[in-house]
Amino acid sequence: MRCPYCSHVDTQVVETRESDEGDVVRRRRRCHSCDKRFTTYERAEIALPAVVKKDGTRAEFDMAKVRASMSLALRKRPVSVEQIDAAIERIQEKLLNSGAKEVPSTRLGELVMRELKRIDKVAYVRFASVYRSFEDVDEFRQLIRDI
């Protein structure tokens, strides 16, 4: 590991700790050249499928985009950050378990809607009304009846 202060390549691990959840390893290191200490974090890299958009372009799965769209639908709703995080984790888990290398954006949208329906019905309706691009009030009424 290269020292972030002097760029020397010879560093020593002084202390290693796992996070409480066990998904991150924290390492304290010391540089042999400048004697400064720094911390590194080690976590498993997860390969989520690429998202295929409606126009056929592909993009990497972006958890921040999913969080932003869910947060917008959940704006001013009594839903905790922990509930949002858990919903995003469930979405990621479903994508990983599918084993697919690519997922259509429509499938991702459906997963988000399912999670929103589970945690807050109003947010679900907000998201669905934008996501499904309702053309008339009857489609909107049908969605509400389905809830």
Residues 140 and 86 in one domain: yes
Residues 84 and 127 grouped into a single domain: yes
Please indicate, yes or no, if residue 4 is contained in any of the structural domains. Answer: no
Domain of 56 in residue numbering reads as: 50-146
Residues 85, 33, single domain; the answer is: no
Contact 89/82 with Cβ under 8 angstroms? no
User: How many CB atoms lie under 10 A from the CB of residue 131?
Assistant: 17
Residues 86 and 118 occupy one common structural domain: yes
- pLDDT tens for each residue of the chain, 147 residues long: 899 999 999 999 999 999 777 778 999 999 999 999 999 989 877 788 999 998 999 999 898 999 999 999 999 999 999 999 999 989 998 998 888 899 999 999 999 999 999 999 999 888 887 777 666 677 767 777 777
Burial of 36 (0-12, 13-18, 19+ CB in 10 A): middle
130: left (phi over 0), alpha (psi -120 to 50) or beta: alpha
Whether residue 87 sits in one domain with residue 18: no
Count of structural domains, the chain: 2
**In angstroms, rounded to a whole number, what is the distance separating the alpha carbons of residues 81 and 106?**
25
